[in-house]
Structures are given as C-alpha cells and as structure tokens.
Amino acid sequence: MSSERNTDIEIRLLIEAIYLKYSYDFRNYSGASIKRRILHALRQFDCHTVSALQERVLHDPSMFMQLLQYLTIPVSEMFRDPGHFLALRQEVVPLLHTWPSIKVWIAGCSTGEEVYSMAILLREEGLLERTIIYATDINPHSLEKAKQGIYSMQSMREYAENYRLAGGRRDFAEYYTAAYGNAIMDSTLREQVTFADHSLATDSVFSETQLVSCRNVLIYFDKALQDRALGLFHESLCHRGFLVLGSKESIDFSAYGQRFEPWVRPERIYRKL
Amino acid sequence: MKGIRAVVIGASAGGVTALFKVLGGLPADMAVSVLCLLHLPHNRESHLADVLQRRLGRPVCEARDKQPVQPGAIYVAGPGYHLSVERDLTLSLSQEPPRHFSRPSIDYLFMSAADAYGESLLGILLTGANEDGAEGLAYIKNSGGRTIVQDPRDAQVALMPEAALALHRPDHILPLSGIEQLLATLEPSAC
C-alpha cells in the first residue's frame, strides 16, 4: 500500500519535472490513464521506479522524446465513426458553402488520419480549394507521420469501408498509391494543410476558424484542461462556427456547455452560440 | 456490509445472466455507486444499460466521460473505450490498446477505482473465459478494499474466477445467490 502511494508521488514529480524541463504540460491530464501509460513505459524502459525514469528523462532529451510516444495515444482511423462524417457532409457542409473562405482546425491530429479524412470530404464537396486546414499536435513524431501520409494497406482496407459508410462518392483507392504493403496518400490532399506543433494545455489561439475538429483528445484531459481547450475553440471559432468532438465526448459537464448548441447531437457536432 | 461506498463488478462470457442475478440483490434505497463492466463481443453500440434498466426496474446508465459518480446510481461501461474512476470521483474514458484483448478492460476499471476509493471499494469478479480482472481484483485487495470471486463451480465459465483465485485470496468465494444476498446487506442511503 505504501509503495503504491510512493508511485503516485513519483508520478506527480515526473510530470512536474517534464513540465519544468521540456514545457510539456501533462499536469491536468486524466490521472488514471496517464498513470497506466507511465507504468507501461516503466516496463519498456526497464526502470524499476518512476524516480529512476525521471532521472533518465531529465538528463537525456532523447529519452523524453521516447517517453512522449507513450504519454500520447496515437489511436486513430480514417473516417472513424462513419456516421459522424456523414453528418458533417449532410448537416455542416451546406453551411460551410456560405463562407467565402474556410479555415479548419484539427486539434490533436495525431498521425493524420483525421486530416486526410477531412481533406477528402472537403474535396468531394468542392470546398478544399478555398479551405486552409491547420493540423496541430504536441507530438512531433506524430506530426511527421501525418505529413508523410503513409499508412499500412491493411488499415486502408478498413478505412475504405468507413469511407463508404461515411457517404464517400468515389473509389477510396483513388486517394492513395499502394506500394510495398503501404499506401501513400495523394499529396495534393495536403496542399491546403499546415501542420504545426501546438499544445491545448499551454498555447493560445492562432487563427479565426469556421470549424474545429478535436476528436478523442478531450477524454484525456481533466475538467479544468478540458475547459481550457474548449475556451480556445470558442475563441477561435467565428460566429456560428462548428465544433466537432469524438463520439463519446460531450460538453455537457463543461463550463462551456451553454456556449455551444448541439447541431447534430448524436454525432457530437456543436455550433457556437 | 459496512463502509462500502462503491461496488465494481466485472464479467465476461456468461456475464449477462450473472449480472442480472447479482444486481437484483442491491437494496432499492442504497448509498453505494455501482459500476459494471461486461466484455461484449463487438465494438458496436451496446444496449446493456437499457436491457439492465428494464430488467431491474431502476435507472442504469452508460458511463460517460467526466460524469460525476453519484451515490445510489448504477453505471455500465460502454463498448470501445476503457472506463476509469478518477480521484475526484468522476468517470473517464480512454482508448489505450486493449488489455487481455479487451477494451474496456476490467483490470483498468478495478485498479483506477481502487486508487479512487481505497478501502471503501468492493470488487466482484464473475464468470468469464478471460484473465482480465484477476490482477485488478488483487489490486483492490492490496489497496485495502474487499473482494468477492464467484465460485468457479457456480460460474458458467470458470476461467475468469479461477484466474482471480490464483492471484489472491478474496474475502468471499460465493455462488451468485450468495453474492446477491451479500449485496442486499449494503447500507441504505442515510436520508
């Protein structure tokens, strides 16, 4: 029992050390999940205590980069929750057409699956050419992968089904070139995309946007950090701009619950009031 | 049973019937919060909360991210996401890789609940063909909480309770009827 208490103390110290040294702020991440990820990393790095891990992370920046890969969760798919993208097409795109130019912010874009899904959808709806997409994440390795746009063919086959269910109008294979078991995304899809390092925990708003997509990111934040992130989205969005979240996320328990209205509630699509 | 503020229940194969039976023992006016995690075969939408609610004749809801855990309420974990209890007694969802092929994982729910509730937690592991939950239940015990394992002879599939018994000695090893009776002794709410 007391060794468990020690672990909790050490985890707090590690997170504080990471913040002080590297300015990555995990202090308001949901505790249960971050604890599991740190303990998992501990085994991978063959450290016996979190304190031992902390020493290595403090004195070796490359070690921190490795740990960061465990602290962030790169779980993503293209057209994840197809019903969500179908709702975007049917209930949001017609309104996006009313703006002369569109800025979309994909916050916590991870390895890029959400970015390419959005770019494909906007292209098929004739909007991509007048759109700028900002794709941001805190993990530089994930951003690099997102820029490369290379995914395994095995996952692409699953995404093809998602794409179809999401109201896709073409053959999904038109959007990539297959080679050696991998698929390389059509590079013209990212001509309108700016990838950037941005933290919802420490950075501020950088642009006015018409649509913010932040899916399966807020679940890793505690309520205070969730409110901070929603505050950034609220500030960034133009009047009546759209906010879209992951299928199990909601703003119901947030301080910003009253500042957005549900647009397609089951698909977690909201509109700024 | 005195001093219990929350009950976590894990089950896999054969678990729906077992859950009905066990939850049926809960006092109508109870002070505890109950969190159930049943492994489901698919990542699809689950109707478990609706089914349980109709069968038990009392409110059961699917656990939502950042939802405060209320006394007297029954929650079930939805599919596709791990469910945890945070120290401030709110629920959180996450998508780390599956554990023992399971997401949601019973171990993760049990361990996080043990961190949140300590000695005022009761953990119950029922029938199942999977080792998920065994470590989590031992962790509850080590954190000062109480544990019950369904008697493997009574379980539709014995692997899950057997895996739990291989790791620690629970406070009770009981058939479903015994667990049901024990839950009936949980403290009613004060008001």
A179 and A243 housed in the same domain: yes
Contact residues on chain B for A8, CB-CB shorter than 8 A: 115
pLDDT of residue B1: 84
Alpha carbon of B81: minimum distance to chain A alpha carbons (Å): 9
- The number of C-alpha atoms within 13 Å of B124 and in the hemisphere containing its C-beta is 29
Quick one: A9 and A112 in the same domain?
no
Beta bridge partners of A107: A136
Percent of chain A with pLDDT over 70: 99
CB-nearest to B85 from A8, A32, A226 is A32
Interchain contact A224–B (C-beta under 8 A): no
One domain, residues A139 and A264: yes
Tokens linked to A34:
């971050």
**ipTM of the complex model:** 0.92
Asked if A37's CB is within 8 angstroms of B95's CB, the reply is: no
CA-based nearest residue in chain A for residue B63: A248
Among the candidates A71, A105, A127, a domain finishes at A71
C-alpha to C-alpha distance for B181 and B2, rounded to whole angstroms: 14
Report d(CA B127, CA B14) in Å as an integer: 6
Is residue A77 in some structural domain?
no
Give the pLDDT score at B188: 79
Contacts of B83 (CB under 8 A, 6+ apart): B35, B37, B63, B77, B91, B92, B93, B104, B108, B109
Same domain, A111 and A184: yes
CA proximity to B79, closest of B38, B107, B108 = B38
CATH number reported for the structural domain that contains residue A93 in this entry:
3.40.50.150
Are the beta carbons of A8 and B82 separated by less than 8 Å? no
Residues from chain A that touch B67, judged by Cβ atoms under 8 A, are 253
Name residues whose C-beta falls within 8 Å of residue B150's C-beta, 6 or more positions apart in sequence.
B18, B124, B125, B126, B127, B161, B173, B174, B175, B176, B179
Rounded (10°) angle between helices A31-44 and A61-71: 130
Amino acid identity, position A57: V
Helix (H) or strand (E) holding B94: strand B91-94
Give the whole-angstrom CA distance, residue B131 versus residue A95: 50
Q: Do A254 and B66 touch (CB under 8 A)?
A: yes
Nearest to A176 by CA among A160, A193, A192: A160
- Whether the pLDDT of residue B191 is over 70: the answer is no
**Contact A30/B86, CB-based, under 8 Å?**
yes
pLDDT of residue A196: 98
Query: What residues of B are in contact with residue A222 (Cβ under 8 Å)?
Result: 86, 88
Angle formed by the axes of helices A2-22 and A61-71, to 10°?
Answer: 120
In a domain, A76, yes or no: no
| Domain span including residue A49 | 2-71
- Cβ contact, residue pair A223, B94, below 8 Å: no
Decide if B87 contacts B57 (C-beta within 8 A): no
Please state the length of chain B: 191
Candidates B127, B145, B174, B177; CA nearest to B32 is B145
Angstroms from A191 CA to nearest CA on chain B: 30
What is the model's pLDDT at position A25?
A: 97
pLDDT digit string, tens, across residues B9-43: 999 999 999 999 999 999 999 999 999 999 987 65
Q: Rounded to whole angstroms, how far apart are CA atoms A189 and A176?
A: 10
What's the gap in Å between the CA of A259 and the closest CA on chain B?
Answer: 18
Contacts of A27 in chain B (CB under 8 A): none
> Could you give the CA distance from residue A51 to residue A216 in angstroms, rounded to a whole number?
30
Provide the pairing of β-strand A150-152 with A176-179: unpaired
Task: Please name which of B85, B106, B94 lies closest in space to residue B12, comparing C-alpha atoms.
Answer: B106
User: Last residue of some domain: A20, A38, A71?
Assistant: A71
Enter the tokens of residue B175: 């058939």
- Predicted confidence at residue B46, as pLDDT, reads 76
C-beta atoms of B64 and A223 within 8 A = no
Q: What is the pTM of this model?
A: 0.94
The nearest alpha carbon in chain A to B97 belongs to A75
B142 contacts A4? CB cut-off 8 A = yes
Domain B6-183 in CATH 3.90.1010.10? The answer is no
Option in A1, A8, A250 nearest B64 (CB): A250
Lowest average pLDDT, out of A25-34, A113-122, B58-67, B182-191, goes to B182-191
Looking at beta carbons, which residues of chain A come within 8 Å of B93? 219, 248
Q: How far is CA B142 from CA B9, B34, B108, B149, B167, in A?
A: 17, 20, 15, 15, 11
**B144, two tokens:** 């000062």
Alpha carbon distance A100, B69 (integer Å):
46
pLDDT(B45) > 70: no
pLDDT, averaged across chain B:
94
Specify the pLDDT at position A2. 62
| Mean local confidence (pLDDT), A58-73 | 95
Q: Which of A33, A36, A253 sits opposite B66 (nearest CB)?
A: A253
| Nearest residue of chain A to residue B92 (CA atoms) | A219
Residue A17 lies inside a defined structural domain of this protein: yes
**What integer is the mean pLDDT of A85-94?**
97
**A165–B contact, CB cutoff 8 A:** no
Residue matched to tokens 């994982």: B105
pLDDT tens readout for residues B66-110 = 999 999 999 999 999 999 999 999 999 999 999 999 999 999 999
Does a structural domain hold residue A266?
yes
The size of the A-B interface in CB pairs under 8 A is 70
Q: Cβ contact (<8 Å) for A32 and B84?
A: yes
A48 touches A72 (CB < 8 A): no
Residues A53 and A120 grouped into a single domain: no
Contact B85 A218 (CB under 8 A): no
pLDDT at A178: 95
Give the end of a domain, one of A40, A71, A102: A71
Q: Are B163 and A21 in contact (CB under 8 A)?
A: no
* B20 three-class SS: helix
Name the residue of chain B whose CA is nearest to A70's CA.
Answer: B96
* Whether residue A119 is found in the same domain as residue A248: yes
Question: What is the rounded CA–CA span in Å between residue A256 and residue A219?
Answer: 15
What's the confidence (pLDDT) of residue B189? 72
Asked if A30's CB is within 8 angstroms of B84's CB, the reply is yes
pLDDT of residue A76: 86
Q: What are phi and psi of A83, to 5 degrees?
A: -60, -30
Work out the minimum CA distance from B180 to partner chain A, whole angstroms: 30
Say what the pLDDT of residue A250 is.
Answer: 86
Helices then strands, counting H and E runs in chain B, come out as 6, 9
Question: How many domains does one find in chain A?
Answer: 2
Residues A51 and A148 in one domain: no
Chain A residues with CB inside 8 Å of B141's CB? none
Do residues A170 and A255 share a domain? Answer: yes
The per-residue pLDDT for B190 is 64
More confident position, B110 or B188: B110
Q: Is A218 on the interface with B (CB under 8 A)?
A: yes
* Residue B187 pLDDT grade (very low, low, confident, very high; cuts 50, 70, 90): confident
What is the pLDDT, as a whole number, of residue B139? 98
Work out whether strand A269-272 and strand A260-264 pair parallel, antiparallel, or are unpaired.
antiparallel
Name the least confident of A92-106, A115-129, B47-61. Answer: B47-61
pLDDT at residue B61 tops 90: yes
Asked if residue B44 has pLDDT above 60, the reply is no
- Which residue(s) pair with B74 in the sheet? B34, B60
Residues of B with catalytic function: 12, 39, 132
A48/A11 same-domain check? yes
Cis previous bond, B104, omega within 30: yes
Calculate what percentage of chain A has a pLDDT beyond 90. Answer: 95
